Amino acid sequence: MKNNQSSPIESVESISRIGNQPPSGENISFDTTTTPFSVDSFVLKLFNLQDDQAERINVHNEPDGLHVYIRLKPVPCRCNACGNMTDKVKGYKIRKITHSVITNSPCFIDYDQRRMRCTECGKTFVEPNPFAFPGEKVSAVTVYNVLQDCSRPHETFKAIAERYHISPSTVLRIFDSHVNIPRRKLPRYLVVDETYAFHTAVSDYVFVMMDYETMDIIDVLPSR
């Protein structure tokens, strides 16, 4: 396998959210054999692609957002069942990946994923790609940005979901599958009390739990 195919995780940190401007124009299309890629290096970086990795790229607007069609150049792939190298293509299937690198508009990669057939064992498998993890509908860069935002205490799942044009349940799923918060042990003495609070929707009092020995607050709940 060629080593110029970076995995989704490798260059995630090099791509940050692009503030205001989407890639300019509608229906930008270029053939990698004729287009000098220095001009388009910005677009390539945005999609975690190396200069010689894409066979075809087409940028176009649709009612639901900006769509970037990408087909990668064919390279021999290793069969994950028997390890044989093969370049036999079984077919193509478009995979829509949410790629929220532009904050003011939803952006999708319409990845024309190539399915390979092993010439030794006959099994089929998809080519490796730099955009998203297997079976994931959200790009690795978007997952990274969501996790970054989840680490800020004032953020809510709903606000993050709106920012990246995904559902709150997707944010929750990303958080749950990547963040492992170990369960805390109960203190030796747990003290509880209700205390007056100005702004709770449920009651005038909040329910406070404390560790009697350290006097650390363990949790504050909206009501008993």
The verdict on 220 binding Zn ion (CB under 5 A) reads: no
The verdict on 191 binding Zn ion (CB under 5 A) reads: no
| CA atoms lying within 13 Å on the CB side of residue 126 | 16
| CA atoms lying within 13 Å on the CB side of residue 6 | 18
CB of 114 to Zn ion, least distance (A): 16
Identify which of residues 94 and 121 has a Cβ nearer to Zn ion in the complex.
121
Identify which of residues 121 and 192 has a Cβ nearer to Zn ion in the complex.
121
> How many residues sit close enough to Zn ion to count as binding (CB under 5 A)?
8
**Distance of alpha carbon 221 from alpha carbon 81, whole angstroms:** 51
Q: Which of 1, 9, 89, 121 forms a contact with Zn ion (CB under 5 A)?
A: 121
Identify which of residues 2 and 88 has a Cβ nearer to Zn ion in the complex.
88
- Please give the C-alpha separations between residue 28 and each of 8, 25, 150, in angstroms, as whole numbers: 24, 6, 34
The verdict on 87 binding Zn ion (CB under 5 A) reads: no
Convert 112-139 to b/e letters by CB count within 10 Å (16 or more is b): bbbebebeeeeeebbbbbbbbeeebebb
Q: Which of 81, 190, 202, 220 forms a contact with Zn ion (CB under 5 A)?
A: 81
**Distance of alpha carbon 141 from alpha carbon 159, whole angstroms:** 18
The verdict on 171 binding Zn ion (CB under 5 A) reads: no
Helices assigned H by DSSP within the chain = 41-46, 140-150, 157-163, 168-178
Contact 165, 106 (CB under 8 A): yes
Identify which of residues 121 and 191 has a Cβ nearer to Zn ion in the complex.
121
For residue 119 the two structure tokens come to 């010439």
The verdict on 120 binding Zn ion (CB under 5 A) reads: yes
The verdict on 216 binding Zn ion (CB under 5 A) reads: no
The verdict on 162 binding Zn ion (CB under 5 A) reads: no
The verdict on 84 binding Zn ion (CB under 5 A) reads: yes
The verdict on 82 binding Zn ion (CB under 5 A) reads: yes
Q: Which stretch binds Zn ion (CB under 5 A): 67-75, 77-85, 174-182, 199-207?
A: 77-85
Answer positive or negative: Cα dihedral of 15, 17, 62, 97: positive
The footprint of Zn ion (CB under 5 A) covers 79, 81-82, 84, 118, 120-121, 123
